[in-house]
Structure formats: C-alpha cells, structure tokens
Amino acid sequence: MVDVGRKDETERVAIAKGSVKMAPETLAHITDKNMKKGDVLSVAQLAGIMGAKHTATLIPLCHPLALSHVNVIIHVNNDSYAIDITAECKITGKTGVEMEALTAVSVAALTIYDMCKAIDKNMVISDIRLTHKSGGKSGRFDAE
C-alpha cells in the first residue's frame, strides 16, 4: 500500500457513475416490482453502499477507510432502457475515496444483473467511470 502517514487530512469526495442497459421488458419487470428475487432497485442501492464499505477487502492495496458518507442513487432511464447508477463517497482523511465510489457503482450494477439474469442475459454493464473527485494534494477533477 502507499504510505499516507505524512499526508494531511482533508475532506475528500468522489462521485462515480455507470449504467445497466437491458431489454424494455426487463426494465418493465423491475419498475413494476415483478422480479422473483425482490425489489431490484432497493437491493442494488443497499448492495452499492455495502460495496463501498468493503472496498479494501475487494481491491488489493486499497486502504481500509472509515467513510463518513455513502449515497447510491438509482435512476430508471426509460428512454435508453437502462438503470443509471450514481455513487458519492465522502471522508475526512489522508487518502481519497475514488475506489469506494467506483466499487459502489460496480456492485450495484452487478446486483441488478444478478437479480435479472433469469429473464435477460443480454444486459450490458457499461460506462463505469469517475466523474468527480475533490480534496487531497491533486485537488479537483471533473470528467468532461
């Protein structure tokens, strides 16, 4: 792991986004809460939060962090037959939370896939990316 012992503690924020594209029928089953495994959107949101909290156990060399805030927003995009996921993580600490935000989005997307794969194996998890980061030595980043 990178030695962060001499770094200053600063407020750090990271936001990541991603999507799960699917068949229109699959999206209808999700929004109608008609999936055998339960409420896909609520379970995916909770899974994303849990994923952020467990990032250090999933990604080698990530520091275990005491996150001060995790928010996972799930948005149904009827125009593109997708579920859009946004995760925001915050901490006051010596290292950033980019990996936690990215993990939250990834785990939420994988949960959606898992809960719907019985009716749609053609779903596509895509566009997982960091869209914002602030705090720390490198400062602010906003994706184009």
The CA–CA distances, whole Å, from 10 to 13, 56, 85, 131, 138 equal 10, 20, 26, 19, 12
Q: Which of 114, 120, 127, 142 is catalytic?
A: 114
Is residue 114 annotated as part of the catalytic site, yes or no?
A: yes
19 and 82 Cβ atoms separated by less than 8 Å: yes
Q: How many CB atoms lie within 10 A of CB 81?
A: 17
Q: Express each pLDDT in 64-96 by its tens digit.
A: 999 999 999 999 999 999 999 999 999 998 888
pLDDT digits (tens, 9 = 90+) for 44-59: 999 999 999 999 999 9
pTM: 0.95
